[in-house]
Structure 1
Amino acid sequence: MSEIVDILKELSSPSYNEKKYIGVDRAINEAAVGGLVDSFEEFGEILAGVIVLVQKYLLKARNPVEGGREFYLDAAFRVLTRKLGPNGEKAAMEISRTGKNDGIYGVIKLVAYGYAEMLFENESKSRVGIIWEQLSNDDKFATMDEYLQEFGHLWPDELTENGAARLKVNFPKTLQLHLENIRKLSKSLDR
């Protein structure tokens, strides 16, 4: 069995999805604060701390980067923009200030799960991409055939007819779409 198909199976497994969020739950529990957050400075400290904790539990990062508060805060703001739109940090600050939608705890959860999602998305794309680039042409064709045998039923018939030429012509894009679909399905099943 090819490494790529093995990775895709691993990333699709319920145990993988369950395992990846255990660390996120730990980070949320450790970061949890109560009450309302009134200052943007305090808000930033909490969010930067959430990113540090997610890295601690998911990436096994021992110590935060010295002077890296801006890096961590930027990562949190990217998540908020992705989840809440262009002014995500302002919307999240308002939630934290008013206590609506679970207040700061809800924002902590949103940032922790969103950042974990970004980390796993990057990891899966990197793992598959690196392996694909290292394969010989013969191995690439064999991997395509094996992929279609294992996962071809997940694609619409019009893409798999005629030897699945439409999927094979740009197979790295096919793999990327497969990973995105795994992420979307996983997300819909998550908390």
Structure 2
Amino acid sequence: MASLERSQAECGQVRREREEARKTATEAICARDEAVRALQDSEQQYRDLTEALPQLLWLTRPDGWHVYFNQKWCAYTGLTLEESNGHGWNHAFHPDDRQRAWERWKQATETGEAYEIEYRLRRADGSYHWVLGRALPLCDASGQVVKWFGTCTDIDDQKRAVPEVHAPIPACHESVLATLRKPRSAR
């Protein structure tokens, strides 16, 4: 009889331990699922942000190797992500600007200094537009670059307007200015 009671007590103990293990496992699975959902939500917010901004956005490894471009980059340049990744982005630059842009980018990634440059970028329709390229490094607590975040802003309208501002004054305006420069008594 004592043996039967002891067996029943042991079985009860095993059931309680099994139930506790099941409860702990269920809590762990729920916590993992919640963490996965939070990560997916965060990733979706990041994607929404990168696609909503009116910029061509890109991301690189610390060494400057491009690993991400938003869809606006692809639509603007006509390049696929595969064609753009790595150093493929440089093929969309005007041939006269490629080397200068490459050297400036290399300097930024080697020194960790901010990247800023104006260059002509080929659009999907084959025309070139002036853009302002900028990038800043994201550093860890020790100051090491972890990745670079960059943008390209189309400044073609502003760039082309500058010559108009500095254009020569037409001859008729010159005669008016000459008259105004004369002393009143000589007019």
Q: Which entry has the higher C-alpha Rg, 1 or 2?
A: 2
**TM-score, normalization: structure 1?**
0.28
Larger RCO, structure (CA 8 Å, separation 6 or more): 1
User: Which has more strand, going by share of residues?
Assistant: 2
User: Which has more helix, going by share of residues?
Assistant: 1
